A and B are shown apart, each in its own frame.
Chain A
Amino acid sequence: MRGPRGAARGTGPRPERADAARDPGLQPERTRLAWRRTTLACTVATVLAVRSALHEGLCAAGAVAGALCLACWLGFLLVAHRRITTLTAPRPRTLAPGVAAVAALCTAALALCGVAAVV
């Protein structure tokens, strides 16, 4: 299973084992769990954001801000889910720049909705 790309660069010799397809450092799994943690943090921030948008009663501006926050959360959830499914491969591909951009922009947009709710 170990292709030529599997040769480690700069990290000492790796022990040979029968199931060499699995990374002994569990890097894909750790990255998957990092995505899950980040999704959880995004959920908490979204709950606070929606609560902030709606705490002065239901008005049109608050409803729009809350809906935008939920849209950001859904966007983040979507890219995180797609990335988590690709990370089940033993040698996952590099993160696509579009995925990184969507995740970062959803976070920034969530904060900007919050600015609108605070001011």
Chain B
Amino acid sequence: MSAGIDLENVCCDFGTFRAVDNANVSIRPGEFFSFLGPSGCGKTTILRMVSGFIEPTQGVIRIGGEDVRGKRPNQRPTALIFQNLALFPLMPIWENISFGLEVRGVDKATRRKKAEDLLKLVDLPGAADKMVSQLSGGQKQRVAIARALAVEPQVMLLDEPLSALDLKLRQHMRAELRAIQKRTGVTFIYITHDQGEALAMSDRVGVMSQGRIQQIADPREIYNNPVNGFVAGFVGENNVFEGTLGTVAGGMAGFDTAEGPFRARISAEAAGKPVKLYVRPEHTLLSATPGHENSLPVTVTEVSFEGAFISVHAQTEKGKILVAEIRNDGQATVPAMGAKLYALFAPDRAALLPDANVRA
């Protein structure tokens, strides 16, 4: 059983500070949805409003179609996994997991059975009688998930639960969380500032900045077609050019910069706003001969071999540093330092984007 969540024009003010501004999002039942953004962007506030610890200043929150305003966290069908997990250190693992059932008056034998079933589900059998302090970080993580699943929530809310783990474990737990979500079919709302995490795990991602949701889309769309400069910058690297917009026709536009004229994609919404040109490093090519458009002479100033790819810094004639990433397919030639080359990019791989959507 899982429920969808709808936020309609939700705002949240702390004094004069607006933490969340006019959030509208409709999360589908059974979806893995991530809120991605830098710290202080309001993503945790959204999570706490859904779980019931904060009431929105304006707007409506619906869980499974039902307006939950005024309901306390213990009356909502949500389960929150805290950043520090907040396991109960004075109870053994099985009591931790079955705490939500104890509260609901379930008898001890049933609770114990349920706790052991859940420990199997999270791949931690035999830990029932251990204490929290005896477990490792990854194991605690699993216990926290099991404890939240025990109350059979319709929505699971996760507040950066992997941030305290080391890299290897984090990558392992990503796959694990994803698998548990698919197995249980519960709606997951996941909060993170790690774009890799959000893109790898989610069905859809909502990117946030300064209290506003900038873009809601599936991970590929977010990376390939960011709606603005903030999203483009937050989910990846870019070479950015400033300049003035020329004529717009058929989704493409001319753009005059100090480095010369370029042509790039532009969306209908972006036309008319001040825009900048964004090109991903992996779409920036280096060539010995100039192309017929979007091409500029550069000098290689730094080459770093990263294994799977080669990152090249190249300086334009005006002194601007561009970054190009060459995939290492085993035969790729590494440009020499000081080599005079041309940087090229395809017009449909470059985008003209407005700045972040923020309050004036």
Interaction A to B: no
Residues of A within 8 A of B (CB): none
